Amino acid sequence: MIEDKNPQRTPLSELGEFGLIEHLTKEVSLKHKSTIKGIGDDAAVLSFDSKKTVVSTDMLIEGVHFDLSYVPLKHLGYKAVMVNLSDIYAMNATASHITVSIAVSNRFPVEALEELYEGIYTAAKIYDIDVIGGDTTSSTTGLIISVTAIGHADEDEIVYRSGAKENDLLVVTGDLGGAYLGLQVLEREKEVYKVNPSVQPDLDKYTYLIERQLKPEARKDIMLLLQKLEVKPTSMIDISDGLSSEVLHLCKSSSVGVNLYEEKIPLDPTVISTCEEFSLNSTTVALSGGEDYELLFTIAQEDYPKIKANPNFTVIGHMLDQKSGNALVTRANERIELKAQGWNPIQNDN
């Protein structure tokens, strides 16, 4: 479906032992004064002075997290960075550094890795991140990408999952379900292509969904926006596995219950129309779809006036005492137990 636009194929072996990593990292420029030493020694050295160091790591595996038959390598590199930055932003911290480890089989030519790194460097540039290290090795089969993101924050700025209080409002950024539907569209086109490779798909009307899937953006903007609005969330998490799963994480960590209102869940019009086309329930898609990389947070009730006019935020519920349980309040005003049904059979913990 996605053609290889670069017909040149240089075998990995041609660059030799240390050539590959030198080749892939030659463009790295370090911008942060906190980066004392980046790539090229046994370890990187960072200086955060009185700030706290914030660390998160995620691994993406071919055949589990991505399918290279429709995911361009450049987008994959970009997304691998986003997935990790999102975790740092979910701590209300500034992401500043990443390490990138990749394992590749010999079926990948050097040019494929160049594309992957182009995506990584593009993300680093846009999000103001220094690439400070990593590991490049062979794999016996597919492509594996492991990114560790490092950030920093003043201790009193950091927002954990555990600070939500009874009566706090539950707020989500952006809209939900798009990334999952983008995946459904791409999977369907892959099947069509298998049957008839000459069919040119018309994916225009799904542009938003496909972009949400292939090129998600981490919400770096939210921290600054909340600072400007003088709101500090009481708890926060990013939405990687689906809204229900993340709401339950906040509830469990904070020892509170929740009423989540189905009618309040923000959905893009394309999500609604595509759900109809695929005979999917849009609430289920938003609750369980995952990969939206929006932020979910709670705020004290008195902060509501500060955020209510802002199009980035939707209040979708409020926190209860723990014994009231975790519930979805449906459009029919029924209160049903909220359950996690994330997409990933084994789960990341941070």
Is there binding between residue 142 and a second copy (CB under 8 A)? yes
Using rule CB under 8 A, residue 90 touches a second copy: yes
Asked if residue 350 binds a second copy (CB under 8 A), the reply is yes
Q: What mask, x for binding a second copy by CB under 8 A, covers residues 17 to 46?
A: xx-xx---x----------xx-xxxxxxxx
Of 213 and 240, the one with the shorter C-beta distance to a second copy is: 240
Q: Which residues contact 71 (CB under 8 A, 6 or more apart)?
A: 2, 214
The 181-210 contact track toward a second copy, x by CB under 8 A, reads ------------------------------
Write down the least CB distance from residue 33 to a second copy, Å.
13
- Bridge partners (DSSP) of residue 100 are 134, 147
Report if residue 10 touches a second copy, rule: CB under 8 A: no
From candidates 4, 27, 31, 53, binder to a second copy by CB under 8 A: 53
CA dist., res. 11 & res. 4, Å (int): 16
> Is 66:215 a contact under the CB 8 Å cutoff?
no
Per DSSP, the residues of 84-105 read: HHHHHHTTT-EEEEEEEEEEE-
218 forms part of the interface with a second copy (CB under 8 A): no
Query: Which residues are documented as binding site for ATP?
Result: 117, 134-135, 161, 240
Q: Binding of a second copy at residue 93 (CB under 8 A)?
A: yes
Q: Which positions from 226 through 245 interact with a second copy, judged by CB under 8 A?
A: 236-238, 245
Shortest Cβ distance from residue 132 to a second copy (Å)? 7
Question: Of the candidates 26, 42, 1, which has an alpha carbon nearest to the alpha carbon of residue 117?
Answer: 26
Quick check: 216 and 82 in contact, CB under 8 A?
A: yes
Q: Does 7 bind a second copy (CB under 8 A)?
A: no
Question: What is the SS3 assignment for 12?
Answer: helix
- Is 55 one of the binding residues for a second copy (CB under 8 A)? yes
Q: Indicate the annotated binding residues for substrate.
A: 65, 291, 343
Annotated binding site for Mg(2+): 42, 56-58, 87, 135, 238, 241
Smallest distance, a second copy to C-beta of residue 85, A: 10
**Where in 109-138 is the site for a second copy (CB under 8 A)?**
132-138
Rank residues 210 and 296 by Cβ distance to a second copy and give the closer one: 296
Both tokens of residue 155? 């201790």
Distance CA 150, CA 81 (A): 11
Considering only the stretches 9-17, 165-173, 266-274, 326-334, report the one whose residues sit in contact with a second copy under the rule CB under 8 A.
Answer: 9-17
**Residue of 312, 238, 248 lying closest to 85 (CA atoms):** 238
Residue 346 interacts with a second copy (CB under 8 A)? Answer: yes
How far apart CA 75 and CA 333 sit, in angstroms, is 41
Residue 261 or 343: the one with the smaller Cβ distance to a second copy is 343
Contact call for residues 282 and 272 (beta carbons, < 8 A): yes
Torsion from C-alpha of 52, 91, 74, 174, nearest 10 degrees: -150
